[in-house]
């Protein structure tokens, strides 16, 4: 495949888990298999609707190893639109600054340990439910 994709390629696979539920796994060039990718979850839901595997115009639960979101693919007279909604987790906050030599420096000001722990518990529960892990 290097001849076809000399700069690498992102690939997502999805599995239908129910009438309104799918699982998505994503490989991102330069990163490998990722826990979560919103773009892949949105694209996979859209592809599953277009292929007729899941219905349009209703909430679809989209799971991956990093958690889950809700996607809705709405059909319109002029096409379709897909919306993703879900949580975001703050892990840390910091300050960016530019050094005198032009390098960028990042200082961590705050680590959100309780939020990180809550997310890890949520992701573990999703993995247990979907993957049997």
Q: What is the pLDDT of residue 131?
A: 65
Longest CA span, the chain: 57
**pTM score of the predicted model:** 0.75
As a residue count, the chain comes to 133
pLDDT 10s digits, 60-100: 999 988 888 999 999 999 899 999 998 778 899 999 999 99
Percentages (nearest 5) of helix, strand, coil residues in the chain: 25, 40, 35
CB 35 within 8 A of CB 28: no
Taking the alpha carbons of 32, 38, 42, 48 in that order, is the dihedral positive or negative?
A: positive
Q: What is the DSSP letter of 34?
A: E
């Amino acid at each position: 495949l290097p001849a076809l994709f000399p700069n690498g390629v992102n690939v997502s696979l999805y599995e239908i888990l129910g009438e309104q539920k799918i699982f998505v796994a994503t490989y991102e060039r330069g990163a490998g298999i990722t826990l979560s990718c919103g773009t892949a979850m949105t694209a996979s839901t859209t592809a599953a609707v277009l292929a007729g595997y899941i219905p349009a115009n209703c909430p679809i639960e989209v799971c991956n190893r990093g958690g889950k979101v809700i996607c809705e693919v709405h059909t319109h007279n002029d096409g379709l639109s897909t919306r993703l909604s879900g949580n975001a987790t703050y892990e840390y906050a910091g300050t960016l600054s530019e050094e005198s030599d032009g390098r960028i420096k990042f200082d961590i000001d705050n680590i959100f340990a309780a939020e990180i722990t809550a997310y890890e518990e949520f992701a573990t529960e999703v993995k247990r439910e979907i993957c049997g892990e």
